[in-house]
Chains A and B, each alone.
Chain A
Amino acid sequence: MISVKNITKVYSDNFYALSNISLDINRGEIFALLGPNGAGKTTLISCICGLIKQTKGLIKVSNFDTLKDYRKTRALIGLVPQEFPLDSYESVLNTVNFSRGLFGLKPDDRYIKNIIQSLKLWDKKNSSIITLSGGMKRRVLIAKALSHNPKILFLDEPTSGVDIQLRKEMWDMILQLKRNGVTVILTTHYIKEAETIADRIGIIDKGKLILVEQKENLINRFGKKSIIIEFGKKIYEIPNKIKDFDCFITNDNFCLVIKKLKNNKDINIKKMINIISELKIPVVDIKTEESSLEDIFLDIISERV
């Protein structure tokens, strides 16, 4: 659906916002682009949407060049920006209708009503934007982006400043869009968001795309599992048989934490229990913890730092 080939964006001060990025995004998938502030997420989205012209490289949307065939590619794309760039004194209905017209489509009251209703804004259709809450403004931006029935939707930090309930409703909406065949690309700081709804994850840092993986593969490849053994009395030394593993004793000296990569078959709970039972120290509890996508993301970024 989207093919990015060797994209570089250099600003006049010789700052490389994007360095030789290549990426393919498949039709109907939810792709999450993660990265720290200033990593190049918004620049990459802006290049695909036509807001910024890349210095080098080629971007194709549905096999159309975003520069040469910009009318065709832009008609396929809806963009929800990070900020609230809205005309404060315009009404919800007018601003959504404006977006549809701007994308070259004739008015369609029924379609617009459906979108506004699905985003729970119908009661506010005649309200000025200035009177809306942050969450409502965010939904207005989504309604505007959907007003021309795009096949691709870019969501740049879609749930920032949104309460938990609304965030979950937005996730449901994004999943529904996916079921309707819309390709969704989102950037987010809430790694939990990517973990919950994304099919594939891309991590970008300092203008370079570090990795692109299926979410499950990423978690399996980089995810860590911790085995936490809680003892009935304090321990002060790691048993010899597990000294070679990535393990440590907690500060209160009651717990032993053994870390392992999820796909490491050398360490398993049964084996650990056998080793620990040989110590003749009473065991109170054994539990396991798995690293989240957030932990993986932080590990990858901190390794680069």
Chain B
Amino acid sequence: MNFNSIKAIYKFEMARALRTIMQSILAPVLSTSLYFIVFGAAIGTKISTIDSVSYGAFIVPGLIMLSVMTTSVNFAAFGIYLPKYNGSIFEIMSAPISAYEIVIGYAGAAVSKSILISLLILLTSTIFVDFYIKHPLLMLFLLILISITFSLFGFIVGIWATNFEKLQLIPLLIITPLVFLGGSFYSVKMLPELWQFVTKFNPIFYVINGFRWSFFGTADIAIIISFSFIIIFLFICLILIGLIFKTGYRIKG
């Protein structure tokens, strides 16, 4: 394992995050605070509890997931897309570094940033609502696992994208709507039966509910099903990345 190379990529990426600290770290925290004000204060007063959990607390895992998924995908996608865009990927591809070391470097930085932001959001949310985490270790484990999975997915998006529009396409038009429709701000039981059925085809629904279970010990779906979905998605991403490097898809002639 070439640790120095991984460290170089990781440090370079983290430096990029720090260079754009307002955009990359403070903006998600601010927008989350706004969600609390809008959903928690305005809507929360009309909804008493969901599964004995106050509405304000209920949306905390959803908000963290919204941020983790979008940050992981965006940061990892930008991370690998930028060297492709400015041509400096030649240096990475000509360095004595393996494919999985490159992925560890880029995805590792995206995971770190996502976890940092999610912890900041968790901290911010304590200002607005009272809640407790029933399974903190499981919560942390799932947080890391989900960050890794979506960072890998972001890496694939970054390789696939051939322009900035495509780079934004999946996070904005797929991930964000699926997170919103996956029960971030509501329980699926609050929907009509037809929409409850449709929601079950949304993979993000399983991710959010798994994470919510680690907070409150209750969710719309069993934790084992959620966990299985995350693991399956993780393996799909790993297989796709393996194929990308094997075939040189959009990175090697």
- With A53-B252, A101-B7 as contacts: A81 and B96 at CB distance below 8 Å: no
Judge whether B93 is part of the interface by a CB distance below 8 angstroms: yes
| Beta-carbon contacts under 8 Å, A1-51 to B | 11, 43, 46, 49-51
> A78 CA to B191 CA in the complex, in Å?
60
> A98 CA to B6 CA in the complex, in Å?
11
User: Which of B4, B11, B88 has the largest number of chain A CB atoms within 10 A?
Assistant: B88
Number of A-B contacts defined by CB within 8 Å: 83
Output the least CB separation between A129 and chain B (Å).
10
Contact status A87-B252, CB under 8 Å = no
- A98: B residues at CB distance < 8 A: 8, 11-12
Closest-by-CB residue of B relative to A83 is B87
Contact status B253-A102, CB under 8 Å = no
Contact status B5-A50, CB under 8 Å = no
> A73 CA to B91 CA in the complex, in Å?
14
Contact with B along A47-59 (1 / 0, CB 8 A): 0011111000000
Contact segment of A103-111, A213-221, A225-233, A294-302: A103-111
- A53: B residues at CB distance < 8 A: 248, 252-253
Contact status B15-A79, CB under 8 Å = no
Judge whether B236 is part of the interface by a CB distance below 8 angstroms: no
User: Which of B5, B87, B94, B253 has the largest number of chain A CB atoms within 10 A?
Assistant: B94
- With A51-B94, A79-B90 as contacts: A71 and B82 at CB distance below 8 Å: no
**Quick one: which of B2, B5, B87 contacts A81, CB cutoff 8 A?**
B87
- B89: A residues at CB distance < 8 A: 85
- With A77-B94, A85-B91 as contacts: A52 and B11 at CB distance below 8 Å: no
- With A71-B96, A85-B86, A144-B91 as contacts: A106 and B252 at CB distance below 8 Å: no
Provide the main secondary structure of the chain B interface. helix
- With A71-B96, A74-B94 as contacts: A102 and B87 at CB distance below 8 Å: no
| Beta-carbon contacts under 8 Å, B1-21 to A | 2, 4-5, 7-9, 11-12, 15, 19
Closest-by-CB residue of A relative to B3 is A104
- B2: A residues at CB distance < 8 A: 71, 104
| Beta-carbon contacts under 8 Å, B227-253 to A | 248, 252-253
Q: A87-B86, A101-B4, A103-B96 are in contact. List 12 more A-B contacts (CB 8 A).
A: A52-B252, A52-B253, A53-B253, A71-B2, A72-B96, A73-B96, A75-B96, A84-B87, A85-B83, A87-B82, A104-B5, A105-B4
Q: What are the 6 A-B residue pairs with the smallest beta carbon separation, nearest first?
A: A101-B8, A85-B87, A52-B253, A71-B96, A74-B96, A85-B88
A interface residues, Cβ below 8 angstroms from B: 11, 43, 46, 49-53, 70-75, 77, 79, 81, 83-90, 94, 98-106, 144
